[in-house]
Structure 1
Amino acid sequence: MIEELVSIVVPVYNMGNSLEVCVDSLLKQKYYNIEIVLVDDGSRDNSLEVCYKLQKRDSRIQVYHTENRGSGPARNTGIEKATGRYIYFPDADDKLEEDAIGILVDAMENGRYDLVVFGYQSIDAKGNVVLKKQYPDMKRNGEDVRQDYSDYVVSTRRYGIQGAPWNKFFDLNVIRKHSIRYPSLRRHQDEGFISRYMCYVKNIHFIKAILYNHYLNDLKKEWDKYPVDYVDAVIGLYQTRKETILTWNEKDRKTKEIVEHEYICNIIKAFELSYSPKMKLSSRNRLKWIRKQIERSQVLKVVMPLSLGRYQKIIFTLLKKRHINLAILIMHIKIIIEKNGGLDAFRRLQ
């Protein structure tokens, strides 16, 4: 039996210290017929040098270099270069179980399914497994899923589809046919891509196997991950949601509430990030900036979901009543408490 070619696209940005471990896990796959597409996204460290070193080790590795545009455009470059039947998108600092690709190809059942969703485990900096996500073995019709997406739209739900792409296996023919690409956002681009892909999925196969090891980032460095234009990503994702998920079934109120809940929370997060040193905003300019983003995002036109956490309800209510200064003060207090180790207290409010 001929093995279908699987394209594995890895976006690389400043991953010189961890990339080799990731690629080793790909080269050790029992399923041999793979191509590994490494896309260096304008790294400032030695990542590109490491990519070329790895390329010399195995002819299945291809290396491409682009200017820094974010992981979404980097993955789009990978899609354009990929020649396989199936495509997979791991992160450059994670590891894949050595039998994973073979299991995933089998789960596609020679094109019967166009999406496979599988389990993973999250590992902290000390090597402790802090989360295991396992799906029941389940087969679902794509149209049925789209008609009632509330159990799938949140990655933490039992059947969560939305989220990262590294625990999904995609049909590259579907991507090519419908010209599906990652949106050019600095955050949430994965969510946008999966929303777009889900528009065309005919059959989904959930499998029990835990095949991916996801290494968590240091929470103390969480703010460093967010770009200064994070609010653009939030607005961009919501627009993509309105063009995809929210068009599938106008009567699906649960899904609409989940999407709007997410939008409000992300907008508030973007406002909190105005205190990041990267923003370099004075108090006066912060107020002006937040007012501008409120208008631009049109977030106050969203009906407040009942599911919203207490903290977000307070902030959102104050913004609706135009008590913006008080909302900013409460956000600032929250940030100070978080930075001084009081994060759990605020998490209970969300």
Structure 2
Amino acid sequence: MEELVSIVVPVYNMGNSIEICVNSLLKQDYANIEILLVDDGSKDNSLEKCNKLKDKDNRIRVYHTENRGSGPARNTGIENAKGQYIYFPDADDQLEENAISMLVAGMQKGKYDLVVFGYKSLDKNGNTVLLKQYPEMEKKGEDVRQDYSNYVASTRKYGIQGAPWNKFFDLSLIKMHSIEYPPLRRHQDEGFISRYMCFCNNIHFIQPILYIHNLNDLKKEWDKYPVDYIDAVMGLYNTKKETILTWNKKDKKTKTIIEHEYICNVIKSLEMSYSPKMHMKSIDRIPWIRKQVEKAEVLDIDIPNTLGRYQRIVLMLIRKNHIKMALIIMRFKIEVEKRGALKLLRR
């Protein structure tokens, strides 16, 4: 008999896309699935759409929660899931029709705890802008943990960290060790994967591209960053210190990568002072930056030599208390990004 696969989809204001996503799940050639749609306090017609989909197929269940973010929504899915395996797609993306059958086969081939697979990213016109494919490989979890620098970034040849939608998990392992998504407004996916990797014994990278990821435009991407983004950045950094950085304390490469990422994310959080959501006056920016930098303790970290020029300059200016100049550079960078996005939209 086929093992039951639980598919958990967090839904927030996805009324325009949830049907496309769910239809791609219902078309799977692997029938023994349950689809858990978790409406995260949507303000549009997402909940109504979810309930209509539920009425069409008895494999769909709908849960409604107050808005707490995709991490807690996925935790609701984990709590209610009944499968042997679990999968977490985004509500505005799609799966190839043979995806679940290939993932189950990939998991069962060698009693693996994790299957990592390829994906493609599409722009708003349906053009492929990124194709990520993994050469077939099997690895012991302990070997991966001992040299995680080769896996810590999603951009690496065998990147594991990043989004959960190109990974297939063992639900029994999650429940056995009470693994949850941390209650962060951003980067909760990476926190979950870091925790899961602590208990992962066998990993299978498979070659097929099974997931279609639809990229958001720059405005939507900016809107995803909460005003307290610094808290998510610090939460992720602390989670990685408690997990990844305990696996092999001699692994300096991984430590450098994580510190590099942390500094970049802190600077991204400082750019939030220019977000329309902040309603911040110019006079308030300098003291706000000082407070954020002190809170993040970023000045205590040695500057990695891998850091880009922009981050290096901003960090150097802040360390020398030239915050006004750092703000000018951040503002310039934001404007350049906006203009670049406008050019792309006009194509």
Taking structure 1 as the reference length, the TM-score comes to 0.96
SS of the aligned residue for 1:269 comes to helix
Question: What amino acid maps onto 1:145 in structure 2?
Answer: V
**Contact persistence 1:7–1:37 (CA under 8 A):** yes
Residue equivalent to 2:88: 89
**Contact persistence 1:39–1:66 (CA under 8 A):** yes
Residue equivalent to 2:321: 322
Shift of 1:16: 0.6
Shift of 1:60: 0.5
Mapping for residues 51-130 of structure 1, pairs under 5 Å: 51-109=50-108, 112-130=111-129
**Contact persistence 1:337–1:343 (CA under 8 A):** no
Residue equivalent to 2:39: 40
**Contact persistence 2:164–2:189 (CA under 8 A):** yes
Residue equivalent to 1:131: 130
**Contact persistence 1:121–1:213 (CA under 8 A):** yes
Residue equivalent to 2:4: 5
SS of the aligned residue for 1:265 comes to helix
- Structure 2: runs of 5 or more not aligned: none
Rounded Cα–Cα distance in structure 1 between residues aligned with 2:102 and 2:161: 21
Shift of 1:343: 9.8
Rounded Cα–Cα distance in structure 1 between residues aligned with 2:337 and 2:115: 38
SS of the aligned residue for 1:340 comes to helix
**Contact persistence 2:218–2:338 (CA under 8 A):** no
Rounded Cα–Cα distance in structure 2 between residues aligned with 1:214 and 1:70: 20
- Structure 1: runs of 5 or more not aligned: 345-350
Which segment is superposed worse, 210-219 or 277-286? 277-286
Shift of 1:111: 6.8
Residue equivalent to 1:237: 236
**Contact persistence 2:71–2:188 (CA under 8 A):** yes
Which segment is superposed worse, 209-218 or 328-337? 328-337
Residue equivalent to 1:347: none
| Residue 240 of structure 2 corresponds to residue 262 of structure 1 | no
Mapping for residues 269-288 of structure 1, pairs under 5 Å: 269-288=268-287
Cα offsets for 1:216-259 (capped at 9, x unmatched):
11124331121111111111110111111111111111110100
Mapping for residues 93-242 of structure 1, pairs under 5 Å: 93-109=92-108, 112-242=111-241
| Residue 304 of structure 2 corresponds to residue 305 of structure 1 | yes
Rounded Cα–Cα distance in structure 1 between residues aligned with 2:110 and 2:283: 57
Shift of 1:331: 1.1
**% identical aligned pairs:** 71
Rounded Cα–Cα distance in structure 2 between residues aligned with 1:214 and 1:284: 40
Cα offsets for 1:111-134 (capped at 9, x unmatched):
710000000000110011111100
Which segment is superposed worse, 264-273 or 316-325? 316-325
- The alignment yields a C-alpha RMSD, in angstroms, of 1.4
SS of the aligned residue for 2:220 comes to helix
Taking structure 2 as the reference length, the TM-score comes to 0.96
Rounded Cα–Cα distance in structure 2 between residues aligned with 1:280 and 1:290: 15
Question: What amino acid maps onto 1:210 in structure 2?
Answer: I
SS of the aligned residue for 2:149 comes to coil
Question: What amino acid maps onto 1:275 in structure 2?
Answer: Y
Shift of 1:110: 6.5
Rounded Cα–Cα distance in structure 1 between residues aligned with 2:290 and 2:235: 18
Q: 1:211 to 1:51 in 2, by over 3 A?
A: same
